[in-house]
Amino acid sequence: MTNTPVRTRMAPSPTGELHIGSFSIILKNYAFAKKHGGQFVLRVEDTDKVREVEGAKDRLLKTIKAYGLSWDEGPDIGGPHAPYTQSERLDLYSEKAKQLVEEGKAYYCFCSRERLEEDREKARAAKIPPKYGRHCRNLSEDEVVKKLADGSEFVIRLKVPDNRPIVYTDLIRGDIEVNSDIIDDQVLLKSDGFPTYHLAVVIDDNDMQISHIMRGEEWLSSTPKHILLYEAFGWKPPVFAHIPVYLNPNGKGKMSKRNGDVSAQSYLDKGYLPNALLNFFMILGWTPKDQRDIITLEEYIKEFDPKDISKKSVAFDIDKLNWLNGIYIRKMYEEDKAGLVVKLNEFLPNDFPKDKLEEIIPLIFERLEKLSDIDELTDFFYREIEVDQDLLLKKADKELVSEQLVELSKRLAEIDWTVENIEQVIRGLQAEKDYKKNQFFMMVRIAVTGKKATPPLFETMKVLGKELSIKRLGSALR
């Protein structure tokens, strides 16, 4: 670390929902800034107007806040380097691009789309990466002035030096060297006056004094371009760290919509708790020194070092996430039952008997992996059930099961409806008649719930109520 103040940033584009991989990187930038007493900056990169989705910016910010993170500077709160929205900084990008032209470090390109397509066709035929043919790189000043006066459409391109090693150190990957010959004379300013990502991000990161850039490894190939731009402007580049992408849960291929949800908001919508998700993102591809799985945000901020991030991509382990979320749900039940009730209310179906919620939660909270599971785990409490006759008659014939149902119904009808009395009747009948315990208890469970796996049987029947429990035993008999 140098004495330069640590400033990191997140720069989402409002072109859709916030990707879980992007959110994970946001978390790392946040933690690194907080660890070093620095600032975490939010910048909205909205220069891609073709792909921009209405309302996406507000949803992005809302999602980040829902996870419990915030920022020190941004479009909603301002800061010393405002504005923090790229579409409000267009004059700056145009000015800087033309500055590079005046200094001989960039040039106007007037090539038509057809000409550019010819370059691509030649590259494809030669089986080499496509590059611009530099047709306008050495136009005379008179030719440029004439084309501009004629109103010819143009872009501004960076004049990439020939055969130059570009060397930098990545916090995760170590020393990296790339030869400038593989880098295209990239477009900096498009014909519509909007900057490309490369120009805008370099200008903004320098203007906002960003010291460390942690981003996805898909930007590795762009980093040499950015370093050339920093050099062209005479600016010191920040420190880079390129983070591996997440793989699909099966470990094959980059995490994609075809293989599961990739929206950060969708996991909240399914009933994963923000703290559990943060914990999951913390340990996915990074591990504390003591190898523990449970870690708080405060602990993560203290211990996180990007140098310890795995160089290899890791699978998005849904089973691990479910396990972690279950732990956080149980912890919340122990520490803040009222808060858990409030959160569960968001996931209750319309026909759920809310007056029974506080009775039901103690029976099912240990089996919840996510809050949305409450529907499947409790539906038999308030909906009609279907009894699988094969399960009902498993390890017993019709005559025996009929006898069991009749006798049990008769005895249950005579008691006060408490857990203790229900248990006494069921256990007493099984012992008295010497019914096989596994068969008898499973038969009762199937008859009153329609399921093989439920919360504890006696407590479940208590919540179901005397009338409904006996009615279901009778229905099973019929």
232-254 tens-digit pLDDT? 999 999 999 999 999 999 888 99
DSSP symbols for 195-218: BPHHHHHHHHHHHTT--EEEEEGG
The answer regarding whether domain 95-189 maps to CATH 3.90.800.10 reads yes
* Average pLDDT of the segment spanning 216-223: 96
200: which 2 tokens?
Answer: 């805008």
- How confident is the model at residue 255, as a pLDDT? 87
Q: CA geometry: angle at 443 spanning 439 and 444, to 5°?
A: 125
Residue range 275-288: mean pLDDT, rounded: 97
Active site positions, annotated: 257
pLDDT at 44 over 70: yes
Q: Which 3 state secondary structure label does DSSP give 269?
A: helix
State yes or no: pLDDT of 190 exceeds 70: yes
Stated as kind and residue range, the H or E segment containing 230 is helix 223-233
Closest CA to 425 of 138, 203, 260, 433: 433
**Interatomic CA distance for residues 23 and 278, integer angstroms:** 10
Which pLDDT does position 256 carry in this prediction? 80
What is the overall mean pLDDT for the chain? 95
Q: How far is CA 270 from the centre of its chain?
A: 12
How much is the pLDDT for 478?
A: 82
CATH architecture of 7-75+200-246: 3-Layer(aba) Sandwich (3.40)
* Per-residue model confidence (pLDDT) at position 4: 80
Is residue 314 a contact partner of residue 247, using CB atoms and an 8 Å limit?
Answer: yes
Residue 281 has pLDDT above 60, yes or no: yes
- Give yes or no for residue 51 having a pLDDT over 70: yes
The neighbouring-strand residues paired with 397 are none
Give the per-residue pLDDT at 2.
Answer: 53
What gap in Å lies between CA 113 and CA 136, rounded to an integer? 14
**What distance in Å separates the CA atoms of residue 477 and residue 454, rounded to the nearest whole number?**
21
Residue 204 CB coordination number (10 Å) = 22
What does DSSP assign to residue 384? Answer: -
Strand order in the sheet with 155-158: 106-109, 155-158, 187-189
What is the pLDDT confidence band of residue 372, given thresholds at 50, 70 and 90?
A: very high
Helices (H) and strands (E) in the chain, counts: 20, 11
- Using the predicted structure, report yes or no on whether residue 79 has a pLDDT greater than 90: yes
Identity of the amino acid at 136 = C
The CATH code of the domain at 389-477 is 1.10.10.350
Task: Identify the band that residue 80 occupies on the pLDDT scale cut at 50, 70 and 90.
Answer: very high
| pLDDT of 47 | 87
Of the chain, the percentage scoring pLDDT greater than 90 comes to 92
Reported as a single tens digit per residue, the pLDDT across 282-336 is 999 999 999 999 999 999 999 999 999 999 999 999 999 999 999 999 999 999 9
pLDDT of residue 457: 96
Residue spans per domain, the chain: 7-75+200-246, 95-189, 337-383, 389-477
**Band of pLDDT at residue 103, cut at 50, 70 and 90:** very high
- Say what the pLDDT of residue 442 is: 95
pLDDT confidence tier of residue 112, bands split at 50, 70 and 90? very high
pLDDT at position 380 over 70: yes
Q: Which 3-state string (H, E, C) describes 237-255?
A: CCEEEEECCEECCCCCCEC
Confidence of residue 418 (pLDDT cuts 50, 70, 90): very high
In the numeric block, which tokens belong to residue 369?
């992996």
Q: Over 70: is that where the pLDDT of 1 sits?
A: no
Decide whether 7-75+200-246 matches 95-189 in CATH topology: no
Q: Single out the residue of 389, 399, 334, 390 nearest to residue 362, CA to CA.
A: 334
pLDDT (tens digit per residue) in 127-179: 988 999 999 999 999 999 999 999 999 999 999 999 999 999 999 999 999 99
Is pLDDT of 183 > 80?
yes
CA torsion 271-273-278-282 (nearest 10°) is: -80
Read off the pTM: 0.91
* Residue 101 reports pLDDT greater than 80: yes
